[in-house]
Amino acid sequence: MAEVTKSKVVSIKATVTKQQQKVMDLESGKEDATIEVSMTKYTAPEYDATTFDGTEAEFNEAVITAASELIQPPAARLAAFLNYATSASYQAGKAAALATGNFLTSDLKARIVQVMRGNQAFVDMSAKDCFERWKTGYLAKKTGALKILDVAKSLGDFGDDL
């Protein structure tokens, strides 16, 4: 029977990906120039007692240590943690503030315009005019405006379905 060697070493998986993007070449004026953006996506392994010699808490500490080594120097690591914490705090605060009433965000406003422009009657209207038309209908409690709002809300609700 083969013996499995357990390890206390945890490594972050690095996967290089490349993506084509269209840009405008300012030298030639060519609007369909293509650049290739290369990036590395980092993923952490999941705890597996058969390969890691330690508890799940020790494994998690090892993962955090391995991940933190990706950001150098240490001052940049600290800035990354603080930026993430600030962003998470903002998102939580925004969600709490939005939960206090029935509000329209700029993202939802853009989706309302998108839905309206999907209708042939509004395709040539400016975004401002589309929104004003929707707003007038919504304030008058018109059925069409309420349906547009429902459709626009559903455009952003993907959750874990993807």
Model confidence band, residue 160 (pLDDT cutoffs 50, 70, 90): low
Residue 161 clears pLDDT 60, i.e. is over it: no
CA 9/CA 26 separation, integer angstroms: 48
The pLDDT of residue 8: 78
CA 66/CA 155 separation, integer angstroms: 38
Task: Say if CB 34 and CB 23 are below 8 A apart.
Answer: yes
The whole-chain average pLDDT of the chain stands at: 91
pLDDT: is 156 or 77 the higher one?
77
User: 């709002």: which residue's tokens?
Assistant: 149
Q: Residues 7-44: pLDDT tens digits? A: 878 999 999 999 999 999 999 999 999 999 999 999 99
3-state secondary structure of 94: helix
Whole-Å CA distances, 3 to 30, 56, 59: 61, 22, 21
> What are the residue ranges spanned by the domains of the chain?
13-98, 106-155
Number of other residues whose CB lies within 10 A of the CB of residue 111:
19
